[in-house]
Amino acid sequence: MKRRAGILIITGLLIISGLLVLPGCGKDKVVLQIYNWGEFIDPGLLEKFEKETGIKVELDLYETNEHMLAKLEAGGTQYDVVFPSDYVIEEMIKKDMLYKIDFNNIPNFKYVSDRFKNLNYDPTNEYSVPYFWGTLGILYNTEMVDEEVDSWDILWNEKYAGKILMLDSMRDTIGVALKKLGYSLNTTDTEKLEQAKQLLIQQRPLVNGYYVDEIKDMMINGDAAIAVDWSGSAMDIYWEGIDYIKYVVPKEGSNLWFDCMVIPKTSQHKKEAEMFINFMLDPENAYQNSLYVGYASPVTEAFERIMQENPEVAEMDAYNPSEEVLDKCEVFIDLGDSRSLFSRIWTEIKVQ
């Protein structure tokens, strides 16, 4: 997937942070400030957008939803487009942090499959446009794991001590423990969350570490046998031609997630932000972006084109999960006041 490195990348011109316009031949040029997950967009598309529109793009990166949200809430930013996940969109709407999108400026929204519209986190589809979607599951090295992998239980198998990678992501990792226990990953029941915390503390001696960016490379290099990761990482590994790493959504169920494009109220260029969103939904651009990033696109033509050109991926849960798999998955919801409870539990796990 998604989700890597937290460095600042600047495309186009060198830009002083916070500068919104640049002088050019007597005419001011808009600088669109994009805040996205690492390696979650094809840089070639940013160049194409700049060439087609004359709008410069500044791209800043984050590793987790929580980091992104904290930065926006701290103020001092002027991001025009950000890419939060479902439950964070719900929270941002409640906090009045997002502009409503003028869909008259986004005609390419017609290419988005209906299955990705009017979902619970934005039920009237006023604030968000779907970007990528996928699941959370287990990556495993078939040269190091000689048993069937179909359950979260394997993450607690002492046989793989020191060879297990967990995600440095509060909702995902606590969610794994909750699903292993048979609970909803959205529960706010303190007793159930305490059980999940104890389960993850019990697991700590077996865990190599908590990572985000490093997981894919560590798996490829054989530094770990098993990892919790997002489906896009599995597809990324597949597109690289590596056949000894597989991906599975455990039988207990997992997270089904949607990452979207939204316009925060920090934006100084809403119209240009909508131009950018419309550009990313163009079927050709969505196809190119999906191939580069590895995740499944909500743009029907892009999604189907990849399966037509690579029929084998239609059978892969990492790209095209079956209805049986999806039926076992849940979408994260905003925790509301219980977010602090999750944060406390996460801190107590990490300090062990």
Separation of alpha carbons 288 and 342, rounded Å: 37
Confirm if 122 and 90 have CB atoms less than 8 A apart: yes
Confirm if 221 and 167 have CB atoms less than 8 A apart: no
Q: Output phi, psi for 341, to 5 deg.
A: -65, -45
Helix (H) or strand (E) holding 284: helix 283-293
Task: Give 89-138 as a DSSP string.
Answer: HHHHHHTT-BPPP-GGG-GGGGGB-GGGSS-TTSTT-SS-EEEEEEEEEE
How many other CB atoms are there within 10 angstroms of residue 202's CB atom?
12
Confirm if 30 and 274 have CB atoms less than 8 A apart: no
Separation of alpha carbons 77 and 33, rounded Å: 9
Name the 3-class secondary structure at 299.
strand
CA–chain centroid gap for 266, Å, is: 21
Q: Is 39 annotated as a binding residue?
A: yes
Residue numbers belonging to the annotated binding site for spermidine? 39, 87
Binding-site residues from annotation: 39, 87
